[in-house]
A and B are shown apart, each in its own frame.
Chain A
Amino acid sequence: MEYALKLENVSKSYKDFTLDNINISLPYGSIMGFVGENGSGKTTTIKLILDLIKRDSGIITILGQDNVDNKNIKQLKEHIGVVMDESCFPEMLTLMEVNKVLKNIYKTWDERKFGTLAKQFSLHKNKKIKDYSKGMKMKLSIAIALAHDAKILILDEATSGLDPLVRDEILDVFRDFIQNDRHSIFMTSHIISDLEKICDYITLIHNGKIILNKSTDELIDNYGILKCSEADFKTITPTAVKGFRKNAFGVEALVIKKEIKGDFVVDKASIENIMVYSIKEARCNESTNH
């Protein structure tokens, strides 16, 4: 299979944090959600992909080209659209001036499309960016990402800070973008329900390691939430359990559906359930290993 984004054994060490042997493969035409807690290594991974920081080892290819060691890097960047949660255009500029600058940066800049998107997102024409709200800045970044010939979008918390209606609107914009089967999206978000709606793949990172990497359908089909008493819980084969929580009424556990034999009720698991229980389990294993 061909991949729009591929990370092979990518590592990066800091004094107090290590991104350890990351492998990610995003096929063309699909959307991958990259999830994890704060400080788990999501932004570090995105910075490595964008060559904002230097990797210690491993290979990163975007649209089939190396992201660093590449003579056509500017050409490649024409086809990458990026939205970052904190970084934006200098604050004294207005929308028209942003357009003027970007026209001179991207060879593939599409002024008309930018205008249409700005209108759709109701971005104020004469206001300075410093007077934009956080959501407006986010929408501006998204409009910029879509107004040049981007083939892959890399979005770091692009929908956070936006209200549900706008988020929905933006998810539609992303769905539109992905209609072209050479287009792909790699996105992080803390709003898991958004990811569940549009992602084909979910990759879960915890403490600098990838602990889960599956298609959304596979996750939803295979995992379930089991609720039962503590006594019953002990009868279940331990390999079927992927994380659990005890409460006053018994046990709630994330399980592999088909490994549960007998008379149990297994509910549908949401991606959020799967993420929370998987991270709990990983933390549990870490503390027993120490």
Chain B
Amino acid sequence: MKALIIKDILNLKGQYKMIFGILVFYAVLSLSSSDANFLFGMISIILTMLTITSISYDERSKWDKYALTMPISRQDIVISKYLLGLILALVALALNLIFVVLLGDLPVKESIATSFALFGISLLFLSFMLPALFKYGVEKGRFIMLLIFFVPTAIVIIASKLDIIEMISDIISNIPFSQVILVLIILLMIIVAISIMASIRIYKNKEM
């Protein structure tokens, strides 16, 4: 497991320079506009997408087939990708929190909340994405990625048209904030767990 994560982190090293460049660019941009939300979003998206990049690299070198001839189980390969996703999401969270401190004049509470929300969204995104990638591969998986982006957007647009959001926010505002957060965290953990089980099942039946 450790070996697989080391492998991915080393294999992705070509990306780090580019990521650093993008970060600097957006950091400067958000300094001048004193709105860091876009920067936070970029950091989360870029780092989350690295997990998918690592899978596409593996595909290109036909690594999985080779790895499975070594003392590595199919389950190891699946779980290593979730761990990589978690590590990268944590790095994104840490970077965001560092920027909150560095950039100074941001609304602190709000920015921290945004950072954690983005962390949750990253995990949610990977939970939907990874089973699809294990099933269909990165090439076909791209369409599923569009779907994953499209469906929530559509729901939000429809909901806003029907005043559902106001209804929901009315309901939520009557519940203590900490309880809402707790429910969301539990929900997220359940989704991640189901996703991991689904991926393992898919990958165990995959013909290489």
Contacts and interface: CB of A to CB of B under 8 A. Distances in A.
A and B bind: yes
A264 interface: no
A90 B61 contact: yes
Interface residues of A, number: 34
A191 interface: no
B12 A87 contact: no
Interface string A63-79: 00000000001110110
A105 B62 contact: no
Interface residues of B, number: 25
Interface in A26-73: 47, 50-54, 73
Interface string B24-54: 0000000000000000000000000000000
A87 B73 contact: no
Contacts of A87: 61-63, 65-66
Interface of A is mostly: loop
B208 A47 contact: yes
A188 to B, nearest CB: 15
A74 B3 CA distance: 15
Contacts, number: 83
Contacts of B13: 92
A77 B69 contact: yes
A283 interface: no
Contacts of A77: 69-72
18 contacts: A50-B69, A52-B68, A73-B73, A75-B71, A80-B69, A84-B65, A88-B66, A90-B11, A90-B61, A91-B11, A92-B57, A97-B10, A100-B6, A100-B10, A102-B3, A103-B3, A141-B66, A154-B69
